[in-house]
Amino acid sequence: EALRRLGVLKELRDLRGEGRDADALGRAFAAARPEVVFHLAAQPIVRTSYRQPVETFAANVMGTVNVLECIRTSDTVRSALMVTTDKVYENKEWPWGYRENEPLLGYDPYSASKSCAEIAAHSYRQSFFAGSGVRLSTARAGNVIGGGDFAPDRIIPDCIRAAVRGQVIDIRNPHSTRPYQHVLEPLSVYLMLAARQAEDAALVGAWNVGPDDADCVTTG
């Protein structure tokens, strides 16, 4: 609906399906013949992952593997970016940020599934894409805020819903420091990474995407 209001639908080819359906995804790739692939589809809610761990792993791991396999068998893809999360790292509870070479060991089902997705992407990069014409990277973004986000368990939508209902907002982890960033910031990085790595193979790898340390704040 948002794209319709912007008047850009006529410039887009809208193919919809389920990422866990490898056959449907393969047909979409065959129809679109993409040169650049961005994979952002996921089951993204931590609390949902506790209630539905199997579905979460299926969506976040096998959904990613299905996309990677479509890229592997494509003769058109030249650049691809798999978007995961900064929760892929083992949580050391330390006050400084994590580097891209820290251990991948997410605890909860959501974080663990994204750690697995990172490992799958690394495997495909080393096994199939090294030395080929396909450039594959992963982007590990922190908390993203912005318009159009109505999901539960997100700080801005939860605050707005509480204000509209006249309720007191329940902050589950008020002392947790998170790297909040507006959605346009990581999107600009994703576009830049996909374009730059297509020209320079040295940029292929894993990338943290987040604000400066000074802009990381506690949730409460």
Residues taking part in catalysis: 110
* Alpha carbons 32 and 81: distance in angstroms, whole number: 17
The continuous run of DSSP H or E covering 20 comes out as none
Chain centroid to CA 64: 10
Give the side-chain half-sphere CA count within 13 A for 153. 9
**C-alpha torsion 119→124→61→63, nearest 10:** 160
Joined tokens for residue 43: 């089951």
* Alpha carbons 117 and 70: distance in angstroms, whole number: 15
Euclidean distance between the first and final Cα of the chain, in Å? 33
Residue identified by tokens 């490898």 is 22
Cβ-Cβ contacts under 8 Å for 60 (sequence gap 6 or more): 42, 43, 110, 113, 114, 116, 117
83: closest CA among 213, 210, 198, 216?
210
